Chains A and B, each alone.
Chain A
Amino acid sequence: MREMTVSELLKNGPKVINIGVEQFYEDLKSQEVPVVQLDWRPPAVNSELLSKLRRLRGGGKS
């Protein structure tokens, strides 16, 4: 995909994908900015479990 140049961005305005908090999507939409919403929430933070799972992906017990 071709990247948009800064001058094109200033000329044509941004096209936005809003990830997460829906209020930002609503605000842009009300200003008629082209925007799509991606419903996403960060994973629940259980860092201890996630670090165990990372070790598992590394091969687990020998």
Chain B
Amino acid sequence: MIDLEKANEEALNRLLSAQPVLVDMGIAKDTIPGLNERTFLHAGPPIDWKNMSGPMRGAVIAGILFEGWAKTPEEAEKLAASGEIAFEPNHHHHAVGPMAGVITPSMPVFVVENKAFGNKSYTNINEGLGKVMRMGAYSEEVIERLRWIKRVMYPAMQAGIRHAAPDGGIDLKFIIAQALHMGDELHNRNKAATSLFVRMLAPHMIEAAPVVKDVADVVRFLDRSDIFFVNLAMAAAKASLEPAHGVEGSSMVTIMSRNGTEFGIKVSGLGDDWFTAPAAVPEVLLFPGFTKDDVNPDIGDSAIMETLGVGGFALAAAPAIVQFIGGSPQDGVNYTMEMYEITVGENNVYTIPYLNFRGTPTGIDILKVVETGTTPILDTGVACKRPGVGQVGAGIVRMPMEAFEKAAERFAEVYLG
């Protein structure tokens, strides 16, 4: 007889006892297991070139230009359509990436280790806001920024992170917990977390970077990029959630992700299957010059933040974010309160000052989602649906019920016999 409550408690306990630490950086093909020379990783459930949305295609084009496999976007598009490059989800390689989430073989990536369980996760480096690869832009300035990240930022950061490792490394759980008390929700607002990260890493970079003068440029870049920490938060979430997967009888979600065409989830007690539905279209606070017609359906692995129990689930901790995503601070509180209805429990470390330091709603339960008719809420960046443009705004989006219903049907099939 399955004990649903006990199984979910076990999955939640594994998640809550995670200790994600930033331990290293490396080049993707040498670092991420199973990533070969001609594979691109992407956000969300599996997708092929012909079904990719505009921003995903744009990011693939940028990746090909960055790798030097084509000289023009047109050539890059032809190569992408030729079938010569394999496209695989980040999540199949213990990796995550925001928005298009494209990781190419020679890109530098961060390595996060969950010290409590020994598993590792990987993510790419955040390029800032606006016209960036992850939003589907591929102009020369975008490619040049990616080259600068690899040439200048990567060696300085790698040296700093390695230098910090003997002292216990950069503790990402500590940063996330602190940032929640400083107005971040760790999905769209990472201003506090990025600042804390710089404060912890800068001395190590100065002591260890091969070119000390570069550290100033790296810190200036971080100062202009309030969202920088989101990739690290996502890798922390991924490393924290993986041990919670595979608990027999657990209906807790361990992955939520979107590829710009489809939304998909994985469930702890349901093996490796994705349960998918068409991606939702966010309610957007648009940047000047864009209209609703420019909005691409929901995209990115960043839904791992809500799977962890922060992001949209912790909006009550981030009153200032509503200036970026729309709504009022009270809406944020309401969203958080609503999410307690669909989660297994509450976080023991990630807490919300405004709610008297109550733990964030943590561990989405597919059965509660279906029973209440309430689906997870995310606050998210929004890309233009045309490739080559970039970000058009940010907003709020509810995950489609269909994926949870499919998962619940399967759950009943498996566990009712």
Give A contacts to B, CB under 8 Å: 39, 41-44, 46, 49-50, 52-53, 55-57, 59-62
Secondary structure of the A contact surface, majority rule = loop
Mark the stretch among B74-82, B231-239, B407-415 that contacts chain A. B407-415
B416 adjacent to A43 (CB under 8 Å): no
Give the distance in Å from the alpha carbon of A42 to the alpha carbon of B373 in the complex.
Answer: 7
Rounded to whole Å, the gap between the CB of A49 and the closest CB of chain B is: 6
**Which residues of chain A are within 8 angstroms of B2 by Cβ–Cβ distance?**
56, 59-61
Residue pairs across A and B with Cβ atoms less than 8 A apart, 28 shown, are A43-B370, A43-B371, A44-B401, A44-B405, A46-B370, A46-B405, A49-B370, A49-B405, A49-B409, A49-B412, A50-B371, A52-B416, A53-B371, A53-B408, A56-B2, A56-B411, A57-B367, A59-B1, A60-B1, A60-B2, A60-B249, A60-B416, A60-B417, A61-B1, A61-B2, A61-B415, A61-B416, A62-B1
| B401 nearest CB across to chain A (Å) | 6
Which one of A39, A42, A53 has the highest number of Cβ atoms from chain B below 10 Å of its Cβ?
A53
In the complex, A62 Cα to B3 Cα: how many Å?
10
Whether, in the assembled complex, B372 has its beta carbon less than 8 Å from a beta carbon of chain A, the answer is yes
From residue A54, how far is it (CB to closest CB) to chain B in Å? 9
Residues of B within 8 A of A52 (CB): 408-409, 412, 416
15 further contact pairs, Cβ within 8 A, besides A42-B373, A56-B4, A56-B367 = A43-B371, A46-B405, A50-B371, A52-B408, A53-B367, A53-B408, A56-B2, A56-B416, A57-B4, A59-B1, A60-B1, A60-B2, A60-B4, A60-B415, A60-B417
Q: How far is the CA of A50 from the CA of B4 in the complex (A)?
A: 16
Query: How far is the CB of B338 from the nearest CB of chain A, in Å?
Result: 9
Point out which of A43, A50, A62 has the most chain B C-beta atoms below 10 A from its C-beta: A43
Q: CB within 8 Å of A: which of B235-285?
A: 249
**C-alpha gap A43/B334 in the complex (Å):** 18
Main secondary structure of the interface of B (DSSP, over half): helix
Q: What 6 A-B pairs are tightest by C-beta distance, nearest first?
A: A43-B373, A61-B417, A52-B412, A60-B2, A60-B415, A59-B1
- 1/0 per residue, CB under 8 A from A, across B351-394: the answer is 00000000000000001001111000000000000000000000
Contact call A53/B412, Cβ cutoff below 8 A? yes
Alpha-carbon distance between A14 and B405 when the two chains are bound, in angstroms: 39
Chain B residues with CB under 8 Å of A50's CB are 370-371
A-side contacts of B416, CB under 8 Å? 52, 55-56, 60-61
Once the chains bind, are A41 and B373 in contact (CB under 8 Å)? yes
Picked from B3, B334, B370, B417, the residue with its CB within 8 Å of the CB of A53 is B370
CA distance A3 to B370 in the complex (A): 34
Contact B372 A43 (CB under 8 A): yes
The residue of chain A having its C-beta at the shortest distance from the C-beta of B366 within the complex is A53
Closest to A44 in B: B373
Q: Report B-chain residues with C-beta under 8 Å of the C-beta of A41.
A: 373
A39 and B416 alpha carbons, distance in the complex (Å): 34
- Give the docked Cα–Cα distance between A39 and B409 (Å): 27
- Give the complex CA separation of A8 and B127 in angstroms: 62
Which residues from B are CB-within-8-Å of A39? 334
Residues of A within 8 A of B367 (CB): 53, 56-57
Distance of A25 Cα from B257 Cα, bound (Å)? 36
In whole Å, how far is A22's beta carbon from the nearest beta carbon of chain B? 14
* A42–B134 CA distance with the chains assembled, in angstroms: 37
**CB-defined interface of B1-28 with A at 8 Å, one 1/0 digit per residue?**
1111000000000000000000000000
- Expressed in whole angstroms, the Cα–Cα distance for A60 and B373 within the complex equals 22
Which A residues are CB-close (under 8 A) to B415?
A: 56, 60-61
Interface residues of B in 265-322 (CB under 8 A from A): none
Of chain A, the residue at the smallest CB distance from B402 is A44
- Whole-angstrom distance between the Cβ of B369 and the nearest chain A Cβ: 10
